[in-house]
Amino acid sequence: MSRFARLSAACAVASAAAVFTPATRSAFADPVPAAAETPAANAPATAPTANTPATAPLHERIDQLVEKFAVGPRSEIADDLTFLRRVSLDLIGRVPSSAEARAFLADNSPNKRQAVVDRLLATPDFPRNLAGVFDVMLMERRGNKHVKTDELRAWLQKSFESDRSYLDIVTSLLAADGSPDDNRAAAAFYLERDVEPNLLTREVGRMFFGVDLQCAQCHNHPLIDDYLQTDYYGLFAFVNRMSVFQPDTKKPALITEAATGDTNFKSVFTEREAVTGPRLPGGAEFTEPVFATGDEYATRPDKDVRGIPKYSRRQKLAELVGAGGNDYFDRNIANRLWAVMLGRGLVHPVDQHHSDNPATNPELLDLLAREFADNGYKVRPLLREIALTQVYQRSYRLPADLAPSAEVAKTALPDLKVKLVAEEQATDVAIEKSDAALAKLDEALAAAKPVREAFNKVNAAAVEAAKKRDAAVKTLTDKQNALNAKLPTVTTVEAALLQASAAAKLISDDTELAAAAATLQKKFDALAAERKKLEDEITAAKKPVDDTQAALVVAQEATKPEREKLEPAEETIRQARAAYVTATEEVHTHRRNKTYMRRRIEFLQTLVALAEAEQRLKTVRPALPVAVAEATKAQETLAIAQKAMAEAEAAFNQASQTLQNTTAQLTQAQTSATQMASATQLVKVSRENAQAAAAKLSSDQELAAALKTLTAREATFASTSQQLTESVAALTKQRDAAQTAVETATGQRQTATQNLQTADAAAKTAIVKRDSLQQELTKLEVSTSENSEAIIQQASSHFNIAVLEALTAEQLGWSLLEATGQLHRQVAAERAKLDKEKPLSEAEQKDPAKVAQREQDAYTAAVTALDKTVAGVANLYAAQTGQPQDAFFATVDQALYLANGSTLTSWLNPSGDNLTARLQKLEDARALADELYLSILTRQPTAEETASVQQYLQQRADDRPAAVRELAWALLTSVEFRFHH
């Protein structure tokens, strides 16, 4: 059972009724009932039934596992043409032609998607494209230093044509030494990296085990807890004895391997020292064959001799990998093949398998890895199964609802959080255990150190003895070689001498002949002497060989007791390291589970947050305009109240003023009335006194006059007083009225003040409400947009929404060639060339097989010719040599190349039946738009787009050919063409 099974069961959020059943050796290459295969176009994804049996086709089981973890948004199944474009790009590396698109649309058969997958897989383009994909994947655009890239691609292509197992391919790569009887192309992996051990350690780790251990070379990885220095050197030990062997630069470079060389290392951070034997990631060390010092080589290395050890760690590496069964290896390739099809790995980046970066669906990765291994590591059938899944066929278009299952998520969260805590604790416990195991390993290493030193000391003598023996052997061999080189000359001279002597005997009087014979005799004698000398020297050289060999044997014997002591010490180390590796794997498992759960929790929380935000938005969005209106209205009311208040204030002031005035007048009038009244009284008294006096003095004229005056005055005064009293009364009334008016105005002012206060408070409330809603809306929109982006990314890394990635450099190159019709132009040219060079006879022309063969030959020739063109495009669009090739970048250089460069310009010149030539022939703008969009974007234009095309043509009616070129250019440089969707 998978180490993830436990985890995934815990994390399954949707109904986790489905139980994963380990696959039996089955199924996926078998033909499957067609009807069940392919979803109808645009049909909603149907959930595969739970408890899908292990015998079900793999693609159903894949969908089932995807389904099991499917929470969150999910796109529709893509339409037919989107599917056709996608599958063509993935399987044969280019967009389909407009003819292919039309044919696919016209096909009404329900299983046409499966049919097209099978058709594409059967084309020669499939292995050719796959070879390119693997070359880029494995070599990252290295090549042509020692092994031609074409050679490697041809070998890969041949391998994929015959469905050779991936395991077998890798075994060849890892075993290759470049010798002519071996596979030269396979040596590219090592040779193009200059057989540099550190580079090879990194690259073997990345390419075949999915781990980039580079940063663990000098210390444990500073950023990734899983990557240990000890893992780095475990791999390093396999490759550090290798190097390039090329004594003659005119001859091809080979790989040589030393028989000895230990792997010691020390952390620059912690000073921890250690030594390790070879070990695969996650694997154990093993016992290696031991040969006596001096006897390690099958072929001893020399300046011009490639050394071949009796035991090769390189071959051991190939053998271990070839045996299969390494989880890292299986998961790595399954993940990489998934990424080839889906645009992204389940583990992403593909060389970052570690517990802080778990697969988005660990159980699915395990299923793919196991099925791929169980079915013989055959790439084509696996890609087929992936192409048939629903998950592969999802649209890139976003679904309307990005948080459809927030309720489910919310329910699942508490449980997950509890489990996360448990995993955190389990991780801590596992770390403690692994620390203890590490301490034991260090102990074993420390214990072995003096033993190893003791052995090295005695062994040094053996090494020295071996050197002497090798030198003696070399002396002997050199002499033997010298003798062997000499012998043919001796034989030839001897033969000539014999003939000359015989001739001289026959023609005894020929002095010249006799002289020649004599010269030859002399020459022969000299040579014979040399031969003799060499033979003597050889005889003499044999003794040192025997002697040194004997000395070596003695020295070897002397090492035996020390070696016997060393072996158990090393065995202890191996066991301690195995225990440590097991313990670290346990840590990885828990930490991976922990990270996975944490990510899952984060995702679910994001979903919940988005749903809540959206829910809230539903209230806030409509509430805001209402609040805005209310605030405006309240502000208007406030303004009215403020106006009323001002009026009331003014009225009050006026009334007060009136009161004040009237009061003053009244007071004045009252004063006057009082004065007048007392004056009147005084006059009255005076008059009465005067009257009395006058009665007594009636004759007094003056008195009489005074009395008259007084009487008159009294009357006047009384009248005035009367008037004044009346005036006072009137003014009193007025004052009272003013008093009332003031009281009224006061009341009104109070009301107005209250009204104002109310309106003010209401306005303030309304404004606060409006502003806080506005703020909330902004905040919600920002968080919604961020959460949406996070959810889209998550949904697309879970493949519920198709990944939108740029075309690879090669896909772009071939798609440009296909869409512009340049590919077919080249095919036509190659066909014409073949027809001219080797015309088909009339009979042959009637034979469909021959005609098809001719077509195939022309196509192959065209593709070969255009390979260079595509390489030119790749030069501009691909990442640099030796760098990961998956990061997207867009440069001004690239844009300028397509905008102004002669390449695309020339492809857009009408010729034969290329795109622009075809378009020009179409009088009807609608038909033109149709062909334009089908050729370039593999879809039909919308009505709006057709109208735009029509409008463009009208605008450029003066130069229709130019208009056609410009339209084609605009779509070829569009995002939709540049991206895989």
Partner 1 sequence: MKAHYACGSNSHLMARRQFLGTMAGGFVVGGLGALTNPALAGQIQKNQMRVLVVYMAGGLSQLESWDPKPKTDTGGPFRAIPTSVPGIHISELLPKTATHMDKLAIVRSINTKNNDHGKGSYQMQYGRSQMPGTEYPHLGAVCAKTLERDDNPLPGHIRVPGGSRGSDAAYLGPQYASVGMNGKPPANSERAGSLTEAADKLRNDFRRQANERFSLQRRTASTDLYTQSYEQALQLMERREVFDVTKEPEADKDRYGRFDLGQHCLMARRLLENGIPFVQVQHSNYDTHNENFNFHFEQLGEFDQAFSTLIGDLHDRGMLETTLVVVMSEFGRTPRINQYYGRDHWGTAWSVCLGGAKIQPGAVIGKTNENGTKVIDREVEHGDLFHTYLCAVGLDSGGAFDIGGRQQPMADPSHAPITELLT
Q: How far from the centroid of its chain's Cα atoms is residue 354's Cα?
A: 15
Structure-block tokens of residue 928: 């033109």
Side chain identity, residue 246: Q
CA–CA gap between residue 766 and residue 786 (Å, rounded): 30
DSSP secondary structure letter of residue 72: S
List binders of partner 1 among 666-685 (CB under 8 A). Answer: none
**Least Å from the CB of residue 74 to partner 1:** 15
Region from 44-52, 191-199, 243-251, 686-694 binding partner 1, contact rule CB under 8 A: 191-199
Q: Would you give the binding string for partner 1 spanning residues 797-826, x where CB under 8 A is met?
A: -------xxx--------------------
**Least Å from the CB of residue 754 to partner 1:** 42
List binders of partner 1 among 941-960 (CB under 8 A). Answer: 944-945, 948, 952, 955-956, 959
Estimate the crossing angle of helix 125-139 against helix 149-161, to 10 degrees: 130
Q: What are phi and psi of 980, to 5 degrees?
A: -95, 125
CA–CA gap between residue 773 and residue 394 (Å, rounded): 38
Please state, in angstroms and as integers, the Cα–Cα distance from residue 966 to each residue in 523, 650, 908, 949, 972, following that order.
Answer: 86, 76, 9, 11, 10
List binders of partner 1 among 486-515 (CB under 8 A). Answer: none
Q: Which of 29, 47, 105, 199 binds partner 1 (CB under 8 A)?
A: 199
**Least Å from the CB of residue 207 to partner 1:** 13
Structure-block tokens of residue 176: 């290759």
Of 225, 217, 151, 157, nearest in space to 184 by CA? 151
Give whichever of 328 and 897 is closer to partner 1, judged by the CB atom: 897
Q: Which of 17, 843, 957, 975 binds partner 1 (CB under 8 A)?
A: 975
Site membership for partner 1, residue 202 (CB under 8 A): yes
Q: How many CB atoms lie within 10 A of CB 418?
A: 11
List binders of partner 1 among 204-263 (CB under 8 A). Answer: 212, 214, 217, 219-220, 222-223, 225
Give whichever of 272 and 831 is closer to partner 1, judged by the CB atom: 272
List binders of partner 1 among 877-896 (CB under 8 A). Answer: 879-884, 886-896
Give whichever of 183 and 973 is closer to partner 1, judged by the CB atom: 973
**Least Å from the CB of residue 779 to partner 1:** 11
Give whichever of 82 and 157 is closer to partner 1, judged by the CB atom: 82
Q: How far from the centroid of its chain's Cα atoms is residue 955's Cα?
A: 42
Give whichever of 249 and 902 is closer to partner 1, judged by the CB atom: 902
Helix, strand or coil, per DSSP, at residue 806 = strand
List binders of partner 1 among 820-879 (CB under 8 A). Answer: 876, 879
Q: Are 301 and 161 in contact (CB under 8 A)?
A: no
CA–CA gap between residue 73 and residue 802 (Å, rounded): 11
List binders of partner 1 among 363-382 (CB under 8 A). Answer: none
Helix, strand or coil, per DSSP, at residue 497 = helix
Beta bridge partners of 171: none
Site membership for partner 1, residue 196 (CB under 8 A): yes
Q: Which of 111, 198, 501, 746 binds partner 1 (CB under 8 A)?
A: 198
CA–CA gap between residue 822 and residue 827 (Å, rounded): 9
Structure-block tokens of residue 345: 């790995």
Give whichever of 557 and 789 is closer to partner 1, judged by the CB atom: 789
**Least Å from the CB of residue 895 to partner 1:** 4
> Which segments of 697-841 does DSSP mark as H helices, in order?
701-797, 809-820, 822-837
Q: Are 317 and 283 in contact (CB under 8 A)?
A: no
Give whichever of 657 and 881 is closer to partner 1, judged by the CB atom: 881
Please state, in angstroms and as integers, the Cα–Cα distance from residue 451 to each residue in 447, 459, 526, 566, 614, following that order.
Answer: 7, 12, 59, 6, 70
Q: Are 61 and 54 in contact (CB under 8 A)?
A: yes
Give whichever of 462 and 610 is closer to partner 1, judged by the CB atom: 610
Give whichever of 136 and 858 is closer to partner 1, judged by the CB atom: 136
Region from 479-487, 496-504, 756-764, 900-908 binding partner 1, contact rule CB under 8 A: 900-908
Q: Which of 17, 106, 268, 943 binds partner 1 (CB under 8 A)?
A: 268
Which single residue is written with the structure tokens 């698109």? 101
Which single residue is written with the structure tokens 């805001």? 624
**Least Å from the CB of residue 175 to partner 1:** 21
Across 596-636, where does the E strand assignment appear? Answer: none
**Least Å from the CB of residue 781 to partner 1:** 5
Give whichever of 404 and 884 is closer to partner 1, judged by the CB atom: 884
Q: Which of 2, 26, 111, 352 binds partner 1 (CB under 8 A)?
A: 352
Q: Which of 318, 817, 866, 971 binds partner 1 (CB under 8 A)?
A: 971
**Least Å from the CB of residue 461 to partner 1:** 34
Residue 422 has, within 13 A of its CA and on its CB side, a CA count of 10
Site membership for partner 1, residue 400 (CB under 8 A): no
Structure-block tokens of residue 800: 């519920």
List binders of partner 1 among 595-634 (CB under 8 A). Answer: none
Give whichever of 302 and 786 is closer to partner 1, judged by the CB atom: 786
How many residues at the interface with partner 1, by CB under 8 A? 80
**Least Å from the CB of residue 205 to partner 1:** 10
**Least Å from the CB of residue 886 to partner 1:** 6
Q: Are 72 and 405 in contact (CB under 8 A)?
A: yes
Region from 88-96, 200-208, 461-469, 552-560 binding partner 1, contact rule CB under 8 A: 200-208
Residue 10 has, within 13 A of its CA and on its CB side, a CA count of 23
Site membership for partner 1, residue 970 (CB under 8 A): yes
List binders of partner 1 among 753-792 (CB under 8 A). Answer: 781-782, 784-786, 788-789
CA–CA gap between residue 717 and residue 668 (Å, rounded): 18
